[in-house]
Amino acid sequence: MRRLPLWALICLTACLAPWYSLGPVHAEVVDRIVAEVNDEVITMSELDDMAKMIQPAAGLNPKSKEAKDLKRQMLEALIDRKLAKAEAKKRGITISDKEIDQAVESFKKKNHIPDDAALNQAAAKAGMTIKDLRQQLADQIQQERMMAVAVGAKRAEISDAEVRRFYDANVRDKGGGNQVHLEVVNMPFPPGATMAQKEEVQKKAETALKDLRLGATLAEVQQKHSLTVQDLGFINQADLNPQLSEVLSKLRPGEVAPIQNPEGFQLVVLVGKRSGQPPSYEEAAPQIRQLLSSKSMEKKFMEWVKTLRNKAHIKIML
């Protein structure tokens, strides 16, 4: 079974919608242990929290076989993260309050959160405190530094031939097609939400949708209802969930599609459409080189983590 790369966990905060990246840190009830890693444990609630982050983004039904397989991969990745974090602590890799402050500001900017009040509201809706968020960001920075220590801060050298092969296979032949510019309003259910709480979120989603359809701007609706909005920019329509792609194909720019899923509601605003043209090799090469270099470093890091596994006491009880 293919293991979930550690970098997938490290990058979650920056890449996913705010209500996933603000995933709850602590279980609200005592739950069972699914793995022991030296003198630490991983609980089912930790694993469930990670699943809530990744499964919706991957378009998986939580009850499907694919979702169960992914859950086991996530457990393996959490074990790797525990080992790397313990090694970072052992080596004295610490993160200052100033660095965390900067990470919080970056998080707010990336997720279009205007101020601290809105950040507090978003965190509370996700069952978190600002302290929890700061801890997550500190852990992320610590992981990145541990990777640099383990494999070297210098990025791997990638040849022009490697960049060209990647461009030909993944950009030139797949970069065209229709593209859509999307903005997403996220309204998640609180952790362990009651039926009344879910109905309250649904009512808020319906009110926001009505306001948008009556001509209110997204910024006005965001401010009125204290919502978080993620601008996804232009993405290939073919890369979207087929059901969502079909819905968007029927919309005109400025129109909105309401989406309900097990985690809550989303309002997907179609900002614009265009016929996608793949970037030239010269335009794409710097990003491709960075991507391939990062993958090379991640591969070396996973080989290093394997050496930690060989020396660790690991017991899986899933």
The per-residue pLDDT for 129 is 82
Top-level class of domain 176-276: alpha beta
- Is 153 exposed, middle or buried, given 0-12, 13-18 or 19+ CB atoms closer than 10 A? exposed
The per-residue pLDDT for 27 is 41
The per-residue pLDDT for 311 is 93
CA atoms within 13 A on the CB side of 261: 20
Kindly report, as residue ranges, where domains of CATH 3.10.50.40 are found in the chain: 176-276
Instruction: Give the separation between CA 47 and CA 64, rounded to whole angstroms.
Output: 16
The per-residue pLDDT for 55 is 56
The per-residue pLDDT for 10 is 34
The per-residue pLDDT for 61 is 64
Contact 262, 62 (CB under 8 A): yes
Contact 317, 79 (CB under 8 A): no
| φ, ψ dihedrals at 177, nearest 5° | 90, 175
The per-residue pLDDT for 104 is 92
Q: Per-residue pLDDT for the chain (318 aa), expressed as one digit of tens each?
A: 434 443 333 333 333 333 333 444 444 445 799 999 999 999 998 888 777 656 555 555 667 787 788 888 889 989 998 998 899 989 999 899 999 999 999 888 877 777 888 888 777 766 678 888 898 899 889 888 888 888 876 667 899 999 999 888 877 766 556 888 899 988 888 877 888 988 998 999 999 999 988 888 888 888 888 888 888 888 888 778 777 888 888 888 989 988 887 778 889 999 988 876 777 889 889 989 988 988 888 888 889 999 999 999 999 998
Instruction: Give the separation between CA 270 and CA 290, rounded to whole angstroms.
Output: 30
Kindly report, as residue ranges, where domains of CATH 1.10.4030.10 are found in the chain: 6-155+292-316
Residue pointed to by tokens 């879910």:
198
The per-residue pLDDT for 217 is 86
Instruction: Give the separation between CA 42 and CA 74, rounded to whole angstroms.
Output: 11
Instruction: Give the separation between CA 76 and CA 90, rounded to whole angstroms.
Output: 21
The per-residue pLDDT for 102 is 94
Q: What is the dihedral of CA 242, 16, 279, 289, to 10 degrees?
A: -130
Q: Show the tokens assigned to 35.
A: 């793995």
Q: Show the tokens assigned to 302.
A: 């996973």
- What residues are paired with 258 via a beta bridge? 267
Top-level class of domain 6-155+292-316: mainly alpha
